Structure 1
């Protein structure tokens, strides 16, 4: 397939920086995956009881006139679930580049092999970002094991998007499905931001229970942004709203966490919280557009 093209951002009303790609058939053959997805739908009270396919996701976003960054999560080592192959996902998404901006995911435990894959994805496919989920992948973001992968992402001018804070993954399941929350403290991403000052980093989600740590890192490091996905805005803590309205207004990004939270729900609740009128367009589109370079 040719290098990825970017949507015409002039025509969309918003850019959702955080959506998930699921298996193209909308299900998964691995044992336990259906139980995992059912638990996620219950945790988020999601109307999507079955994971949507990439074309279904594109159709939804096209109907809403919203562009969406979409990615799989490679956490094979820690979860045992087979990943949605990056190349397969890109091939499926390539028919929907009018609304989709595909990112990819590589488990950093894959070492040099993962770094080689990252280089190929950037150079041959034009991939613009990589998703990390420290809790699902079972690593601290500042573990030097991951640095060869970061170096390839940095050299290619791509973005590193890290899950932060508590996760719905495994919530309520025995032992939390083995997921360890400690890995996703945003303070570990501060080392990455310091060691790779030119790498664009997104801290995904309001970072409960480490919200102030996330705000501190984003304030201190020029290359760190925050996406607001995974929570309804009506639950945003006051300090987060205060920073959106002030010193971090140019570094806050709209994200839904589709399919577990829909843009309809997120945008409706965002309209009801106390955000200054001149800042709303920055959060919904302008900040992401600048970061993505489109």
Structure 2
């Protein structure tokens, strides 16, 4: 379950124009909420566990955001907190502090951070995560942030090609890599990587299930049924709506259970 808390601290790096464009892309009405309000809303929609993901950017200090995620996760009985790192600011020390805070892994947003997942400055992060069988959630594919603006808000999609994750998944087999948003429009590339590497997962957030390409569902129902994860992308997509549409997808019932919670339980 892929969640960002819609408070000013989580999205402070973005202009109002960019945030409004993102909400328009998802056709969503996004209102600022406190952590407590957001979690209450999630629970009311049936969410029993979720990944609490920060929103990293290009030039930022990760420490305050990691502290914030840790403080939120420590108050919750259902949140799994993730850290962020800045490859230009002591990433090895950052991830070690984050693990000491009890965070489960790292969220990378290659487009916002303008860094490929296989950038060698991130290797110390992967090395630290290898020791604890950690998880890296990587934004892959297009992005709603800046969508519809001239120049896409200045954000470049190439950073989020799934193939760059393939390079580090090969080099760090004890790290589990989650391809958030399944890499569309490079979803075939993402599927191929997941088929070839058992430490790579596909995650379905950011898309209404009825719009997810059929190819993704075919592999989710067969060869990749143990490595596909549910995700909504709250607050842009509400879990209740996602789950209602998911029930209409033609999948085996045992596969639906795996996607919704069993695969995540094994991963975390």
Same fold (TM over 0.5): yes
2:102, 2:63 → 1: CA distance?
21
2:136 aligns to what? 160
2:255, 2:263 → 1: CA distance?
10
2:257 aligns to what? 281
Choose the corresponding residue for 2:82, options 103, 121, 139. 103
| Deviation per residue, 1:236-282 (Å, 9 max, x gap) | 11111100110000000000111111111111111111111121100
Q: What's the TM-score, normalizing by structure 2?
A: 0.93
Contact 1:114 1:149 in 2 (8 A): yes
The number of equivalent residue pairs is: 267
2:161, 2:250 → 1: CA distance?
27
1:201, 1:26 → 2: CA distance?
23
Contact 2:91 2:122 in 1 (8 A): no
Are 1:86 and 2:62 an aligned pair? Answer: no
User: SS at 1:162's partner residue?
Assistant: strand
The 3 A distance-change label for structure 1 pair 53 and 107 is farther
1:76, 1:22 → 2: CA distance?
20
The 3 A distance-change label for structure 1 pair 81 and 37 is farther
For residues 116-155 of structure 1, what are the structure 2 equivalents within 5 Å? 116-122=93-99, 124-155=100-131
1:7 aligns to what? none
Choose the corresponding residue for 1:68, options 50, 54, 58. 50
Choose the corresponding residue for 2:29, options 47, 69, 74. 47
Contact 1:54 1:93 in 2 (8 A): no
2:214 aligns to what? 238
Q: What's the TM-score, normalizing by structure 1?
A: 0.85
The 3 A distance-change label for structure 1 pair 168 and 244 is same
1:12 aligns to what? none
Are 1:21 and 2:5 an aligned pair? Answer: yes
| Deviation per residue, 1:181-219 (Å, 9 max, x gap) | 001110110001000011111000132110110000001
1:57, 1:201 → 2: CA distance?
27
User: SS at 2:267's partner residue?
Assistant: helix
CA RMSD of aligned residues (A): 2.0
1:22, 1:86 → 2: CA distance?
16
The 3 A distance-change label for structure 1 pair 198 and 27 is closer
User: SS at 2:183's partner residue?
Assistant: coil
Contact 2:6 2:38 in 1 (8 A): no
Contact 1:102 1:128 in 2 (8 A): yes
Instruction: List gaps (5 residues or longer) in structure 2.
Output: none
